[in-house]
Amino acid sequence: MPAAKWNRRPTHDTGHLPSLDVYQDLYKHFHAHPELSHLESETAARVTEELRSLGSYDIFTNIGETHGVAAVLKNGEGATVLLRADMDGLPVEEKTGLEYASKTRMRDSEGVERPTMHACGHDMHITSLLATAKLMLDAKKAWRGTLILCFQPAEEKGAGAKAMVEGNGGLYTKVPIPDVVLGAHVMPGRAGSLETKRGLVASAADSFRVTLHGRSGHGSQPHRTIDPIVMAASTVLRLQTIVSREVDPYNCPAVVTVGSIHAGDAENIIPEHAEIKLNIRTLDPETRAHVLEGTRRIINAEAMASNAPQEPELESLSNFPFLNNDDEVTTGIETTFAGIFPGRPHGYSSDGPRLGGSEDFGILATSVNRPSCFWTYGGTDPAVWDEKEKEGKLKEIPINHSSYFAPVIMPTLKVAIEGLAGGALTWLAT
């Protein structure tokens, strides 16, 4: 890392914060028009249009044959910083009752029509990165170096970052390799608050679809069939023993969740197949390997115990890598954030928790062997947060992926922009 040339000062030119009215409206636009993973064409088009309207940025679209967009602003000699936002919505029906709530429905990649919602707050990420594009352009005299803005598709599938860097005409064939990669996520939390954490910030996540094969027949004659429902039930229960019996309970937390199980239609027919979908979360590579091996072993063994006519099929649905915050980069961010945000209880804290979910953001850095830092900021209306906190009911606050998850726009947007710009300026400010 070219640490010596980095200018790590807690500098932040809030005088260049753009008019947030425009960006609040833009946020409402993105919120009302979410698109599912891999289908973010309209979002990418609007992002491109907004970037073009600023001038000065070199813009690249359809990166790696995805809907990914990148913009580069070269501003003399200096470090290169990449800021990332993800763009996809989720198959969730919005129930927030907001006047700009999504009424969108989309056909997913399997052709099934789904209600669609920005239930993970990626609309806040897109909008804050566009506003940061404007801020950094207006503040051009206050910094030197190269700024890269990366608008990534399909984060929810754990596929977008990989596709952007590895696909045909991948990201780093278009833009310079950054010295530092930075990103952030809106979370439940008092709006105005912001948290970093060193080291591991997000678990690895591996998802599978498993097809169990049986032999169908009349419900009155089970002895002439092989019942895939009993096989599936037994498999689901036995899978629970990986975490409870095979993994070190003190040092290696892991999660094995079966989130979907489908088989049969009628009460008197034993079906031919059963399908389960499962999701595995682990915090270290050794446990990950063990849990994945155990999962395959149990699925095959239960099929064999049921005398299945053929081995089960495992299809990988998504893989998220571990996400690690680099110590040195995070130290730089800590210094900046401590300088530009108020401290606890309502501002910045450097000992934030790990993310509940997983993230593919890190691939943008690890694919070119560069360090990264990913932080979180709160999006809950401060009045609501304080009331729930007083009542001891913080668990009632909607979390990401809920039908009711919608950040309060201000001050969330302002903190999101200041975080991104402040993060970039940590390495770019003159």
Give the residues lining the site for Zn ion (CB under 5 A): 120
| 40 carries a ligand binding annotation | no
Instruction: For the CB of residue 280, give the shortest distance to Zn ion in the complex, in Å.
Output: 17
User: Would you say 187 or 299 has its CB closer to Zn ion?
Assistant: 187
Q: What whole-number distance in Å separates Cα of residue 165 and Cα of residue 189?
A: 32
* Tokens describing residue 328: 């040195």
User: Would you say 359 or 418 has its CB closer to Zn ion?
Assistant: 359
194 — phi, psi (to 5°)? -160, 140
| 50 carries a ligand binding annotation | no
| In contact, 79 and 428? CB cutoff 8 Å | yes
Instruction: For the CB of residue 125, give the shortest distance to Zn ion in the complex, in Å.
Output: 8
User: Would you say 232 or 355 has its CB closer to Zn ion?
Assistant: 355
Q: Which residues contact 224 (CB under 8 A, 6 or more apart)?
A: 215, 217, 218
| In contact, 179 and 190? CB cutoff 8 Å | no
User: Would you say 321 or 332 has its CB closer to Zn ion?
Assistant: 321
Instruction: For the CB of residue 321, give the shortest distance to Zn ion in the complex, in Å.
Output: 15
Instruction: For the CB of residue 355, give the shortest distance to Zn ion in the complex, in Å.
Output: 9
| 122 carries a ligand binding annotation | yes
User: Would you say 326 or 359 has its CB closer to Zn ion?
Assistant: 359
User: Would you say 88 or 302 has its CB closer to Zn ion?
Assistant: 88
Could you tell me how far CA 279 lies from the centroid of its own chain?
15
Q: What is the dihedral of CA 84, 87, 90, 94, to 10 degrees?
A: 110
Instruction: For the CB of residue 252, give the shortest distance to Zn ion in the complex, in Å.
Output: 24
User: DSSP secondary structure string, 168-225?
Assistant: TT-HHHHSPPPSEEEEEEEEEEEBTBEE--SEEEE-EEEEEEEEEE-B-EETT-GGGS
Instruction: Please report, for residues 104, 329, 374, the alpha-carbon distance to residue 353 in angstroms, rounded to integers and kept in the order given.
Output: 33, 18, 12
In the bound state, the residue with its beta carbon closest to Zn ion is 120
Instruction: For the CB of residue 121, give the shortest distance to Zn ion in the complex, in Å.
Output: 6
Q: What whole-number distance in Å separates Cα of residue 186 and Cα of residue 31?
A: 14
Listed residue (341, 424, 426, 329) closest to 377, CA to CA: 341
Q: Which residues are annotated as a binding site?
A: 120, 122, 156, 185
Q: Which residues are annotated as a binding site for Mn(2+)?
A: 120, 122, 156, 185
